[in-house]
Amino acid sequence: MRITILGNNSALPAFGRHPTAQTVTVYGEILLLDCGEGTQLQMQRYGIKWKNVHHIFISHLHGDHYFGLPGLINSMSLLGRIAPLHLYGPAGLKPILDAILAAANTVLCYELHFHPLPVAPSLLVDTPSFRVDCFPVEHGIACYGFLIAMKTRGRKILPVQCSEYGILPEHFEELKLGHDFTAADGTVIKNEWVTADGPSPKKYAYCTDTLFTESFLPSIQGADMIYHESTYLEADAEKAGARFHSTAIQAAKLAKLANAKQLLLGHFSSKYKDLEAFREEAATYFPDVIVSVEGTVYDL
């Protein structure tokens, strides 16, 4: 599971930092989380292939989280996309996109399936590779977080050992499922002799924009990594609260309560040029803090 940050700033772009967008790559499939203005350009810059994107998730309808979406949707059509695209967002997003497409007389050359986000925590996507759940956060307008869980693909094949026992690749899928192998002469090869434990499934929780609140803690409990907005430093905690945003310390407190392994900070106010203080403040409450940097890849 690989997180790529395409934009980590809050509403106003500043210091070369873009509005919110990031991708989560799971077994080659790319999930796009939010789509601030310029996302299609950031995707080009950082080598994110739109052909591998089949699911886009929009947290809420503040512009810095979706003003890049109409352009991306359009470009995919101009580039001849065929595969359907699934878009998950607040219900109000659909009439806006419909109006934009109608004004341009545009008929997309692929199917765009819109899925309005439900009010309660819900499963959105469930595939053999991953599942995505959404949960409401608290931001003044309808706003959602997402939990992406990468599914394990079973046990890991040990090619050398398989070769020694004469097991051909056509039997690997059975081995991955944990089954023993029975040779032509009736000899039973124990599964654990030719496989190892597969990679452990990973969970990534995406929480932006939101007040500090424990209301969605059950949805993110035990996540390997939590991305939590930290628009402000603690000196501006009052402003953060008034604007339905969080501080770095609040993000760290939530990560600790959730027993997360890592905390990824983002959505920084344009008032801060240097972001080191975000790491320092959060680190007083939580050990493994990362200040997100655009174009950087974080592997789980």
Phi and psi at 140, nearest 5°, equal 85, -45
Reduce the DSSP state of residue 109 to 3 states and report it.
Answer: coil
Q: Closest by alpha carbon to 37, among 83, 6, 59, 82? A: 6
What is the closest distance, in whole angstroms, from the C-beta atom of residue 91 to a copy of itself in the complex?
10
> Which listed residue (27, 49, 52, 63) binds a copy of itself by CB under 8 A?
63
Binding of a copy of itself at residue 128 (CB under 8 A)? no
State the catalytic residue, choosing from 64, 98, 126, 288: 64
Binding of a copy of itself at residue 92 (CB under 8 A)? yes
DSSP 218: H
Q: Closest by alpha carbon to 129, among 64, 54, 69? A: 54
> Which listed residue (8, 59, 68, 204) binds a copy of itself by CB under 8 A?
68
> Which listed residue (34, 37, 209, 281) binds a copy of itself by CB under 8 A?
37
Tell me, yes or no, if 64 is annotated catalytic. yes
> Which listed residue (27, 51, 104, 182) binds a copy of itself by CB under 8 A?
104
Amino acid at 43: M
Q: Which C-beta is closer to a copy of itself: that of 68 or that of 266? A: 68
> Which listed residue (2, 46, 54, 74) binds a copy of itself by CB under 8 A?
74
Binding of a copy of itself at residue 133 (CB under 8 A)? no
Stretch of 20-28, 59-67, 178-186, 250-258 lying at the interface with a copy of itself (CB under 8 A):
59-67
Binding of a copy of itself at residue 79 (CB under 8 A)? yes
Specify whether the backbone of 244 is left (phi greater than 0), alpha (psi in -120 to 50) or beta. left
154 exposure class (CB count in 10 Å sphere: 0-12, 13-18, 19+): middle
Stretch of 73-81, 111-119, 122-130, 195-203 lying at the interface with a copy of itself (CB under 8 A):
73-81
- The Cα–Cα gap between 157 and 189 comes to 13
Binding of a copy of itself at residue 64 (CB under 8 A)? yes
What is the closest distance, in whole angstroms, from the C-beta atom of residue 105 to a copy of itself in the complex?
6
What residues contact 144, with CB distance under 8 A and at least 6 apart?
A: 59, 60, 90, 117, 134, 135, 136, 137
> Which listed residue (29, 54, 86, 90) binds a copy of itself by CB under 8 A?
90
C-alpha of 289 from chain center: 17
- The Cα–Cα gap between 279 and 284 comes to 9
Total Cβ atoms within 10 A of residue 128: 8
Binding of a copy of itself at residue 46 (CB under 8 A)? no
Q: Which C-beta is closer to a copy of itself: that of 72 or that of 291? A: 72
Q: Which C-beta is closer to a copy of itself: that of 15 or that of 27? A: 15
Q: Which of residues 154-193 bind a copy of itself (CB under 8 A)?
A: none
- The Cα–Cα gap between 204 and 31 comes to 12
Angle at 31 between CA 28 and CA 34, to 5 degrees: 155
- What residue ranges bind a copy of itself (CB under 8 A)? 11-14, 18-19, 37-38, 40-41, 44, 61-64, 67-68, 70-71, 74-75, 78-79, 90, 92-93, 95-96, 99-100, 103-105, 140-141
Residues annotated catalytic, as ranges: 64
